[in-house]
Amino acid sequence: MLGLNHYLVLAALLFCIGFIGAVAKRNAIAVLMGVELMLNGVNLNLVAFDRFGNHAEPLGQAFAVFIVAVAAAEVAVALAMILTLYRKRGNTNVDDLEGLKW
């Protein structure tokens, strides 16, 4: 039987992999994927605490749904920025984001 510790270790691994991917990569799509992995790690933590807690309300699941909605909005804005960067520069290198300033 999987306990709370198993879920917390998996969530920490997801978050760490996402953090390393967001910090170490230069491609904007890879950075976005790293941020999404970090958000999934946080969601797993919230749902695990809600599942193994002594609460009658599904508050952790409600927060997880809110994070999914924020992540969807973040992806829409980030993909629009990446598409603009690709059209302007021809690549999706994060170092070229400074060129989008007005």
Cα separations in angstroms, 12 against 38, 39, 49, 87:
9, 11, 13, 36
Question: What are the structural domains, with CATH classification, of the chain?
Answer: 4-100 (1.10.287.3510)
pLDDT, tens digit, 9 for 90 and up, residues 12-22: 999 999 999 99
pLDDT, tens digit, 9 for 90 and up, residues 58-93: 888 888 999 999 999 999 998 998 888 888 878 888
Confidence of residue 45 (pLDDT cuts 50, 70, 90): very high
